[in-house]
Amino acid sequence: MENLPESLFPESTLISSPSRCNISSSHVDMQQNSHDLDGLTPNQLVVLLLDSNLRGDVMYQLIKMRDTCEYLAPLLWNTFNAVYMLLLEVISVYWKLSPPTLSMKESTRVCNALALFQVMAKNPETRKELIEAKIPCYFYPFLKPSGDDKPLEYLRLTSLGVLGALAKFDDPYGPKVLHFFLETKVVPSCLECMDLCDELSGKVATLIVMKILMQEKGMSYCCATPERFFSIVQVLYRVVEKLTEKPCLLHLMYVIQCLLSLSEIQKVIGPSEAFIRQVHPKLFDNTFKDILRDDHETAWMLQVLHFNVYGRLSPPE
């Protein structure tokens, strides 16, 4: 608890709306039977997060409302102690991460808490609040690779989902999010996931790195030193190698876009034999011909990458 921010509830600039919840006027019985939760409103359910006996069922009910309750994100953020209760769920399993002793039931419960943070991450208003309170830092312990441990893999994938929801760098608060990601070393954590974790986590991690590389400040960070630049290129090489065994068009597109961004630097500073060696040659032979056949945009991106790397377009088939 000593690592918690000084305040999880800074002065909010969110507009007043039905999301503002007055606990004293809710008149919800804190001993509510879990079987009766189906009929409760979002406002009533959020208050019940304070009850540790009901919290698991309450989180599940709130997740079911995430697509229908438009004000769920600000409701969660503005309800007294709601975010704190969700954070308690997150940090309660830290001690079970190494060695991994987390059960699937425990993992599912924490994933539900993370899913509610993802609801807040998708909302433009509460996204800003999450970053200013440095809430995503509490999810970083879940990003460490853990072999084939399924409960931890689910936590990792859900945590990456929260980070992916935050990675909207084109909105007005996007530059602050990007700065936070770079400052808290999200890129090295994502590279580990790309390199060592399963397919789904690797795909989401690659998407996050791709979005960072598409920003000028993100590119500057990733290319600040040769070691940092080539560590990314080498991980991408190994990802391509895995994709040759189990192709995935979307994942391949993310990888190509990452390499395309990095190749722009090489185009400026001149050809580099080291970089050319680290771009997997199977990108340019017929290995991915079948999955690229109907995706003309990705196929063209691959042609541009070939031009940036070798100074010419790849020969026609």
Residue 135 lies in domain:
23-222
- Predicted TM-score (pTM) of this structure: 0.86
Q: Are residues 289 and 317 in the same domain?
A: yes
Q: Are residues 57 and 119 in the same domain?
A: yes
User: What average pLDDT does range 106-123 have in this prediction?
Assistant: 98
pLDDT surpasses 90 at 66? yes
pLDDT surpasses 80 at 124? yes
Can you give the CATH number for the domain in which 65 is found?
1.25.10.10
Tell me, yes or no, whether 15 lies in a domain.
Answer: no
Residue-level pLDDT at 309: 87
Residue-level pLDDT at 314: 63
Phi first, then psi: give them for residue 144, nearest 5 degrees. Answer: -65, 130
Residue-level pLDDT at 9: 39
Tell me, yes or no, whether 230 lies in a domain.
Answer: no
User: What average pLDDT does range 42-50 have in this prediction?
Assistant: 96
Q: Are residues 75 and 164 in the same domain?
A: yes
Q: Are residues 252 and 173 in the same domain?
A: no
Is the bond preceding residue 247 a cis peptide, omega within 30 degrees? no
Distances 304 to 33, 78, 180, 207, 312 between C-alpha atoms, Å: 61, 48, 31, 20, 9
Q: Are residues 204 and 274 in the same domain?
A: no
pLDDT surpasses 60 at 3? no
Residue-level pLDDT at 252: 97
230, 110, 191, 123: which is closest to 158 by C-alpha? 110
pLDDT surpasses 60 at 10? no
Tell me, yes or no, whether 84 lies in a domain.
Answer: yes
Q: Are residues 200 and 247 in the same domain?
A: no
Tell me, yes or no, whether 194 lies in a domain.
Answer: yes
Whole-number mean pLDDT of the chain?
A: 87
Spatial neighbors of 150 by CB under 8 A, at least 6 apart, are 104, 107
Cα 59 from Cα 263, distance rounded (Å): 44
For the segment 260-278, what is each residue's pLDDT rounded down to a tens digit?
999 988 766 655 788 888 9
121-145 b/e (C-beta count within 10 Å ≥ 16 → b): bbbebbbbbbbebebbebbebbbeb
Spatial neighbors of 43 by CB under 8 A, at least 6 apart, are 18, 21, 26, 75
Q: Are residues 46 and 175 in the same domain?
A: yes
